[in-house]
Structure 1
């Protein structure tokens, strides 16, 4: 007989302890709409800080999608895979211990975007996380924080990408506003510019479109600016760096290296936009510091910056050379316990994001916490015996347990399906798209049917790993839900015993009150144990075992 017992006082996932290893090497890759960027960094955990030791950037134009289908083209995918293979070689040359990679707008929106990520994994063994626009904004914020001293003052951040533009407001603490809008330099040029140089009619339409698209994000950001505050505007991305290079060469005769901290006044930006719009693409490409590929999209990119500055009523932008790639590094350091200073608030972003969603959807928090406690107890007691999942999967189970009942916000009927929808579309921060999909699926399967291939939501899990996570861990969540059927905390704790000889999973149930027979909980468990028994090939055998009088409460 194998018996494992774990008593946890906190419902939150256990944090990872700080590391003390020196000079850790990490590679971070941003698979964007216009380019693929990589930085290789050397991390000194004792500061904590990191130094960039190599950069790689290639324009692959994943955003040049098939106009009829919206799919990523075969040519673009081949260019991307060749670039990613080169990135892997460079990371290996520097003996990087890990590569963290994310994909953004173009892959998010393409119908075959997930197929592309699977192709990359199959060919290169490289896992690329697909992240939402808000999560992209959060990591950009982390990247800027790593390179700019906020001094407790509000900063507005604009990142102009190929497919989207992120607007962020923060003061060095938790971001006040994270937005992502589907206006980007490649997207606008591809969809709205057909003349060279751009005609007045196309330019005026483009300007009105950009302003209209940005207004909602700008209004949201300005609503978070407090009375008496005037944010400083910080700009990141290749578009803004190119504009800074042009401006510096024209106004000072030299281009500072690095560009970090260089400022462009709005009045000068307006003049630059007016000149650039009157040039042909060949004339723009001939400008010192302008690449052929950037020349194609610079007018649209510059116009996005100009309209954003005018809507924000800010008269200059300061360049920051750190952005999403560096944000990936900071996020990795946070999740690996390497940062405990001014960025410490970010380390619990997942937990706080889940709790905000629970409050938004009026979840009964004491009940949700009890279910989460039981689910994590089952996870811990069966780890290494029935499953080999680790800390990351434990966090997914916790999030699903906390939000499994949020579908009641819409309706009691089929609320498990409503929970899936709310979680899937709720912009949980700190998670990748596939992790959010896994949380949503775990919540969806806390009752009724077990996971089935015919279910659309189950098919949305594009990796074997996450399908297996859902198949196994949903069974633990089902049992946890049954153990608080009356939602009154009738059960104090549980002890699991796996008995292979009898093919039994013995569940020793310790009631909170010795005289409570927990009949409703046992009845609910009988109805919910089927998926567990099918998945693990064990018969669930519950037994009520009152705790000794001096045992203390499990849930305290």
Structure 2
């Protein structure tokens, strides 16, 4: 059986195709295709409220390409989910309907809660009985999940991400809301609380951290790493740190969110 998933985010859009391999009671997955295309829908939406014509045209071409790949791989089933940028775009539903009509690709725009629920399903099998805060920083939103003994005890989505540009005052307001949520809705957590990060920015930060620390990193180490990356210009992040262009300009704001939540 071959399955596929499309993730339509605010900073990039991804397609993954996998083959399901069943050996007795054991099930494993073989990756057949992975494409990450840096189409920044959030740049339009978070400034103008809609996806502009040029971006929409690129989006439609990309969805046609992804649908062709799904057909070529003879995929048995697929899901396509759109998050923050499409959720807030005035013309988000219109684009979804157009892609369905023209290319037969069915996309569903999901809520922040649904996004957090999907993340919960993905991460829960890897947790043990300790206390965890799961932090997922996307382009337009940040999803937080708190676990105690493998049980999800609280979950919340906040309108703050690596692409969504907030003023210093706005960011402080969102961070205050996060602090209020933790006090009100979250039980008293017993130390130590372990932070688990997901998302492209934390993956890149962790790669850089492994070059320096060779283990999971503490809050102090993450803050030091953020300061280290911030010293590089955009061009230096491309040339020296080997970042993609759409990663180099958002990694510092994203690292600030991870640090503040921790």
TM class, shorter-chain normalised?
0.7 to 0.9
Contact 2:131 2:148 in 1 (8 A): yes
**Correspondence for 1:73 among 52, 64, 68:** 52
In structure 1, the residue matched to 2:187 is 224
Contact 2:160 2:171 in 1 (8 A): no
Contact 1:35 1:61 in 2 (8 A): yes
1:263 match: secondary structure: coil
Higher strand share: 2
In structure 1, the residue matched to 2:130 is 153
Moved more, 128-137 or 80-89: 80-89
**Correspondence for 2:70 among 83, 91, 94:** 91
> In the TM superposition, what is the alpha-carbon distance from 1:63 to its structure 2 partner?
0.3
Number of aligned residues: 260
User: Per the alignment, do residues 84 and 52 of structure 1 end up closer, same or farther by CA in structure 2, a change over 3 Å counting?
Assistant: farther
1:126 match: secondary structure: coil
In structure 2, the residue matched to 1:40 is 17
In the alignment, the residues of structure 2 paired with residue 76 and residue 25 of structure 1 have an alpha-carbon distance, to the nearest angstrom, of 30
Contact 1:210 1:307 in 2 (8 A): no
In the alignment, the residues of structure 1 paired with residue 34 and residue 47 of structure 2 have an alpha-carbon distance, to the nearest angstrom, of 35
Give TM-score scaled by structure 1 length.
Answer: 0.43
In structure 2, the residue matched to 1:28 is 5
User: Per the alignment, do residues 47 and 163 of structure 1 end up closer, same or farther by CA in structure 2, a change over 3 Å counting?
Assistant: farther
> In the TM superposition, what is the alpha-carbon distance from 1:170 to its structure 2 partner?
2.8
In structure 2, the residue matched to 1:273 is 226
**Correspondence for 2:109 among 130, 137, 142:** 130
In structure 1, the residue matched to 2:239 is 286
In structure 2, the residue matched to 1:406 is none
Question: 5+ unaligned residues in a row in structure 1: which ranges?
Answer: 1-23, 193-203, 253-261, 310-556
In the alignment, the residues of structure 1 paired with residue 177 and residue 56 of structure 2 have an alpha-carbon distance, to the nearest angstrom, of 29
Contact 1:32 1:106 in 2 (8 A): yes
Residues 283-317 of structure 1, C-alpha deviations (whole Å, 9 max, x = no match): 222232311111111111010011011xxxxxxxx
User: Per the alignment, do residues 174 and 130 of structure 1 end up closer, same or farther by CA in structure 2, a change over 3 Å counting?
Assistant: farther
**Correspondence for 1:242 among 200, 204, 220:** 204
Contact 1:181 1:217 in 2 (8 A): no
User: Per the alignment, do residues 67 and 206 of structure 1 end up closer, same or farther by CA in structure 2, a change over 3 Å counting?
Assistant: closer
In the alignment, the residues of structure 1 paired with residue 136 and residue 54 of structure 2 have an alpha-carbon distance, to the nearest angstrom, of 27
In structure 1, the residue matched to 2:253 is 300
> In the TM superposition, what is the alpha-carbon distance from 1:115 to its structure 2 partner?
0.8
Q: 1:331-346 residue pairs with structure 2 within 5 A?
A: none
2:58 match: secondary structure: helix
In the alignment, the residues of structure 1 paired with residue 25 and residue 15 of structure 2 have an alpha-carbon distance, to the nearest angstrom, of 23
Residues 167-226 of structure 1, C-alpha deviations (whole Å, 9 max, x = no match): 0123575522121000000002xx54xxxxxxxxxxx657635523432343356x2355
1:175 match: secondary structure: strand
Q: Does 1:178 align with 2:155?
A: yes
> In the TM superposition, what is the alpha-carbon distance from 1:52 to its structure 2 partner?
4.3
User: Per the alignment, do residues 90 and 296 of structure 1 end up closer, same or farther by CA in structure 2, a change over 3 Å counting?
Assistant: same
In the alignment, the residues of structure 1 paired with residue 255 and residue 170 of structure 2 have an alpha-carbon distance, to the nearest angstrom, of 12
User: Per the alignment, do residues 206 and 271 of structure 1 end up closer, same or farther by CA in structure 2, a change over 3 Å counting?
Assistant: farther
In the alignment, the residues of structure 1 paired with residue 173 and residue 156 of structure 2 have an alpha-carbon distance, to the nearest angstrom, of 18
User: Per the alignment, do residues 266 and 207 of structure 1 end up closer, same or farther by CA in structure 2, a change over 3 Å counting?
Assistant: farther
> In the TM superposition, what is the alpha-carbon distance from 1:86 to its structure 2 partner?
2.6
In the alignment, the residues of structure 2 paired with residue 142 and residue 301 of structure 1 have an alpha-carbon distance, to the nearest angstrom, of 23
In the alignment, the residues of structure 2 paired with residue 213 and residue 246 of structure 1 have an alpha-carbon distance, to the nearest angstrom, of 30
In the alignment, the residues of structure 2 paired with residue 50 and residue 78 of structure 1 have an alpha-carbon distance, to the nearest angstrom, of 37
**Correspondence for 1:57 among 26, 36, 39:** 36
> In the TM superposition, what is the alpha-carbon distance from 1:51 to its structure 2 partner?
1.3
User: Per the alignment, do residues 159 and 220 of structure 1 end up closer, same or farther by CA in structure 2, a change over 3 Å counting?
Assistant: farther
In the alignment, the residues of structure 2 paired with residue 102 and residue 231 of structure 1 have an alpha-carbon distance, to the nearest angstrom, of 31
In the alignment, the residues of structure 2 paired with residue 43 and residue 172 of structure 1 have an alpha-carbon distance, to the nearest angstrom, of 30
RMSD: 2.5
Give TM-score scaled by structure 2 length.
Answer: 0.87
User: Per the alignment, do residues 68 and 179 of structure 1 end up closer, same or farther by CA in structure 2, a change over 3 Å counting?
Assistant: closer
> In the TM superposition, what is the alpha-carbon distance from 1:282 to its structure 2 partner?
1.8
> In the TM superposition, what is the alpha-carbon distance from 1:30 to its structure 2 partner?
1.1
